[in-house]
Structure 1
Amino acid sequence: MNTEKSAALAPGVAPPQRIDLGDLLLRRWQPEDLVPRFDAITASFDHIRPWMHWLAEPMTLEQQRAFGDEMATSWPSPDGSCNYGIFDVEGTVLGAIGIHDRVGPRTLEIGYWCHVAHTGRGVITRSAAALTRIALALPGIDHVEIRCDEANIRSAAVPRRLGYRLDRVAPREVRAPAESGRGMFWVEDRQGQEV
Structure 2
Amino acid sequence: MDDEPSAPAESIRFDRVELRRWHMNDLDALDRATTESLDTLLPWMVWAAGHNRQATADFLARTHDDWETGEAFGYAITSGGAVIGSCGLHRRIGAGGLEIGYWIHPRWTGQGLVTMAAAALAGQGFRLPGVDRVEIHHDAANTASGAVPFRLGFTEVERFHVPGGPAAPGEVGIDVVWRMTVDQWHAAQPVSRPTRAAGQA
In structure 2, the CA distance between the partners of 1:150 and 1:74, relative to structure 1 (3 Å rule), is closer
Question: Counterparts of 1:133 and 1:74 in 2: how far apart (Å)?
Answer: 20
Aligned to 2:182: 190
Aligned to 1:133: 123
Q: Is the 8 A contact 2:13 2:120 kept in 1?
A: no
Q: Is the 8 A contact 1:148 1:184 kept in 2?
A: yes
Question: Counterparts of 1:137 and 1:36 in 2: how far apart (Å)?
Answer: 29
Q: Is the 8 A contact 2:15 2:116 kept in 1?
A: no
Question: Counterparts of 2:93 and 2:61 in 1: how far apart (Å)?
Answer: 24
Structure 1 residue ranges without an equivalent (≥5):
1-11
Structure 1 SS opposite 2:125: helix
Question: Which stretch of structure 1 is more off in the superposition, 61-70 or 162-171?
Answer: 61-70
Question: Counterparts of 1:114 and 1:183 in 2: how far apart (Å)?
Answer: 20
Question: Counterparts of 1:177 and 1:74 in 2: how far apart (Å)?
Answer: 28
Q: How far did residue 74 of structure 1 move?
A: 5.5
Aligned to 2:47: 54
**Residue 10 (structure 2) pairs with residue 17 (structure 1):** yes
Q: Is the 8 A contact 1:34 1:64 kept in 2?
A: yes
In structure 2, the CA distance between the partners of 1:167 and 1:63, relative to structure 1 (3 Å rule), is same
- TM norm structure 2: 0.85
In structure 1, what residue type is equivalent to 2:174?
R
Tell me the percent identity. Answer: 36
Q: How far did residue 69 of structure 1 move?
A: 2.3
Structure 2 residue ranges without an equivalent (≥5):
190-201
In structure 2, what residue type is equivalent to 1:35?
D
Q: How far did residue 19 of structure 1 move?
A: 0.6
Q: Is the 8 A contact 2:88 2:100 kept in 1?
A: yes
Aligned to 1:85: 76
**Paired residue for 1:177, among 157, 162, 169?**
169
In structure 2, the CA distance between the partners of 1:73 and 1:187, relative to structure 1 (3 Å rule), is closer
Question: Counterparts of 2:132 and 2:78 in 1: how far apart (Å)?
Answer: 28
Aligned to 2:91: 101
Question: Counterparts of 1:165 and 1:72 in 2: how far apart (Å)?
Answer: 31
In structure 2, the CA distance between the partners of 1:150 and 1:73, relative to structure 1 (3 Å rule), is closer
Query: Size of the alignment, in residue pairs?
Result: 181
Q: CA RMSD in A?
A: 1.7
Q: How far did residue 168 of structure 1 move?
A: 1.0
In structure 2, the CA distance between the partners of 1:181 and 1:81, relative to structure 1 (3 Å rule), is same
Q: How far did residue 77 of structure 1 move?
A: 5.4
In structure 2, what residue type is equivalent to 1:182?
I
